[in-house]
């Protein structure tokens, strides 16, 4: 059992006495959000509690609630298993208790696909998505905690529409990046928390709070893009109950620059030529399409096989300047464990194959790895049986507390483009209190390529969001 710090206890009592019965906790990773959430549930003597989060955080919530209640609280998990569906039935029936579910599973229970009676150009039946509103009909929960609440940032998403229909007396949203990667993502999150206080018109809200930039589409068409907040920090100051604790900044990465392998460079030059040709054919277009950005970014990882313009593959023995640099870095670190991150699931498989051929103890961690296998890999890594994990950044960005106890080494083969929040969460899997004095992370970048633009763009977005969240 842990005793909350004074500032954490202040938050707990502030929430329990807050007239709007809602709060947004925007602490960065490692500040103890789980402890605060657990203590709110216990000190508030809530009998019917729902915790929604990333599925990998179930163990952390289970352990914290059990410890703080001296074993009195057993967290029940709703998921696709037979037992999990039985728990879901109890939850919908209004049974008291502490319940946990992953956000994706929760949303799937609230939507179904209905045939439209029409077919597409290939003869495949078309379907519409219909919301069932199954949670709207149930007995309200006393407390709803939405961990990693930034998943609700898209106001048009099924997740946001489901969240709006879950009746709850108290609501607690938690995320170090509640608006995701764009300031306007805060509208949906805060609208869920304070439905009666936040402007019901997103467009009117956007006009009041957002800094806009014109995007020229050609043929006289213009749209607008949110580039930040007009006065950084002013919106969160209007929220009834908002908390923000910023962790110690992550040390600057060591930058290792490489020149692409000849075959890589040839592929990259062809893609760059196509991108420039496309660019010149447009009229004042200032944003490159996502698939062109993706191709240029992926080409810096290794030699590719292009099945068509949308499909990229890597041979398991593909050539890569970045993998050569990685080999040297890992040899320099010797027996140290390390995590190796990138944005391509297919390149993860090539990295794992080549490292295993070199006799290294490495495991894959990506969307293709099941929850059961992830638990096995995590246990083996913590026990020192596995020295390296090669992963996609997105799959390693949340719910993996504990890695920092055994590992202080991380290598980036590239970053997620336009997603600084996920990049930040990825590095903070290891850079968490108490901080390791020997922590190092290395970013391998290809000279004179799209790597530089991604690096600068992410840094700019991160700085803008930090300003909007910090000045409160």
Tell me: do 237 and 258 sit in the same domain: no
Indicate left, alpha or beta for 189 from its phi (over 0: left) and psi (-120 to 50: alpha). alpha
Residue ending a domain, among 182, 210, 243, is: 243
Query: What is the reported pTM?
Result: 0.81
pLDDT of residue 455: 80
CA distance 232 to 236: 9
Number of domains in the chain: 2
Query: In the numeric block, which tokens belong to residue 317?
Result: 């023995």
Q: Are residues 193 and 269 in the same domain?
A: no
Task: Name the domain boundary from 215, 243, 271.
Answer: 243
Report the pLDDT value the prediction gives residue 5, as an integer from 0 to 100. Answer: 87
Location of structure tokens 């083996």: 380
Query: Tell me, what CATH number does 33's domain have?
Result: 3.40.50.10810
Domain that holds residue 297: 254-470
| Domain termination site, one of 208, 243, 278 | 243
Indicate whether 216 and 296 sit together in one domain.
no
Whether 1 maps to a domain, the answer reads: no
Q: Does 227 share its domain with 142?
A: yes
At residue 278, the pLDDT reads 52
In a domain, 430, yes or no: yes
Phi-psi region of 97 (alpha: psi -120 to 50; beta: other; left: phi over 0): left
Long-range contacts, stretch 128-133, CB < 8 angstroms, 24+ apart: 129/158, 131/158, 131/161, 131/162, 131/165, 133/165
Please, what's the largest Cα pairwise distance for the chain? 67
In a domain? residue 308: yes
Same domain, 104 and 128: yes
Q: Give the whole-angstrom CA distance, residue 30 versus residue 405.
A: 13
- Tell me if 91 is assigned to some domain: yes
Same domain as 142, residue 13: yes
217 CB burial (10 A radius; 0-12, 13-18, 19+): middle
Residues 151 and 213 occupy one common structural domain: yes
Rounded distance between C-alpha atoms, residue 244 and residue 27, angstroms: 5
Q: Give the residues across from 125 on adjacent strands.
A: 119
Question: What does the pLDDT read at residue 120?
Answer: 79
In a domain, 249, yes or no: no
Q: Are residues 307 and 211 in the same domain?
A: no
One domain for residues 239 and 260: no
Q: How far apart are CA 387 and CA 360, in angstroms?
A: 8
CATH number at residue 308: 3.40.50.300
Q: Are residues 342 and 302 in the same domain?
A: yes
| 318 shares its domain with 438 | yes
Return the CA Rg of the chain.
Answer: 23
Q: Does residue 381 sit in the same domain as residue 281?
A: yes
Across the chain, which has 472 residues, the per-10-residue mean pLDDT values are 89 96 89 91 96 88 94 94 96 96 94 85 84 92 96 94 96 92 93 96 94 73 82 93 86 94 87 64 54 79 74 86 96 95 93 96 92 89 95 78 85 86 84 81 92 80 80 54
Determine the Cα–Cα distance for residues 237 and 469; give it in Å rounded to an integer: 9
**Beta pairing, strands 242-243 & 97-102:** unpaired
Q: Which residues contact 32 (CB under 8 A, 6 or more apart)?
A: 4, 5, 8
In a domain, 248, yes or no: no
């Amino acid at each position: 059992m842990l005793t909350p710090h004074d500032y954490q206890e202040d938050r707990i009592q502030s929430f329990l006495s807050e007239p709007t019965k809602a709060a947004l906790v925007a602490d960065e990773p490692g500040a103890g959000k789980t402890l605060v959430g657990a203590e709110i549930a216990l000190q508030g003597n809530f009998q019917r509690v729902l915790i929604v989060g990333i599925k990998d955080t179930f163990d952390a919530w289970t352990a914290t609630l059990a410890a703080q209640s001296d074993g009195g609280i057993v967290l029940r998990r709703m998921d696709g298993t037979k037992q999990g569906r039985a728990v879901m039935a109890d939850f919908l029936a209004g049974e008291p208790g502490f319940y946990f579910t992953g956000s994706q599973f929760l949303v799937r229970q609230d939507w179904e696909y209905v045939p439209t009676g029409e077919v597409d150009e290939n003869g495949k039946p078309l379907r519409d998505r219909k919301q069932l509103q199954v949670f709207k009909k149930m007995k309200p929960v006393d407390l709803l905690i939405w961990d990693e609440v930034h998943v609700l940032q898209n106001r048009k998403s099924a997740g946001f529409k489901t969240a709006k229909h879950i009746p709850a007396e108290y609501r607690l949203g938690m995320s170090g990046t509640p608006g995701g990667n764009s300031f306007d993502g805060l509208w949906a999150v805060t609208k869920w928390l304070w439905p009666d206080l936040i402007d019901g018109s997103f467009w009117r809200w956007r006009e009041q709070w957002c800094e806009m930039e014109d995007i020229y589409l050609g043929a006289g068409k213009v749209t607008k893009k949110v580039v930040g907040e007009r006065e950084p920090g002013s919106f969160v100051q209007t929220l009834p109950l908002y908390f923000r604790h910023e962790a110690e900044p992550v040390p600057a990465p060591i930058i290792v620059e490489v020149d692409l392998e000849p075959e890589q460079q040839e592929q990259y030059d062809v893609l760059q030529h196509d991108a420039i040709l496309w660019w010149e054919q447009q009229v004042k277009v200032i944003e490159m399409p996502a698939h062109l950005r993706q191709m240029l970014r992926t080409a810096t990882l290794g030699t590719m096989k292009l099945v068509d313009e949308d499909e990229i593959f890597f041979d398991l023995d593909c050539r890569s300047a970045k993998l050569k640099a990685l080999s040297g870095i890992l040899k320099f670190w010797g027996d140290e464990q390390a995590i190796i991150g990138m944005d391509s699931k297919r390149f993860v498989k090539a990295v794992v194959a080549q490292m295993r051929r070199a006799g290294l103890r490495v495991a894959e961690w990506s969307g293709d790895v099941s929850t059961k296998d992830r638990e096995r890999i995590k246990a083996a890594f913590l026990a020192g049986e596995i020295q390296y994990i090669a992963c996609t950044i997105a799959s390693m960005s949340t719910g993996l507390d504990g890695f920092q106890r055994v590992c202080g080494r991380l290598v980036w083969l590239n970053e997620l483009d336009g997603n600084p929040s996920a990049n930040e969460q990825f590095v903070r899997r290891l850079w968490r209190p108490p901080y390791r004095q020997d922590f190092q992370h290395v970013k391998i970048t290809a000279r004179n390529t799209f790597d530089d633009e991604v690096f600068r763009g992410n840094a700019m977005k991160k700085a803008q969001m930090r300003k909007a969240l910090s000045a409160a």
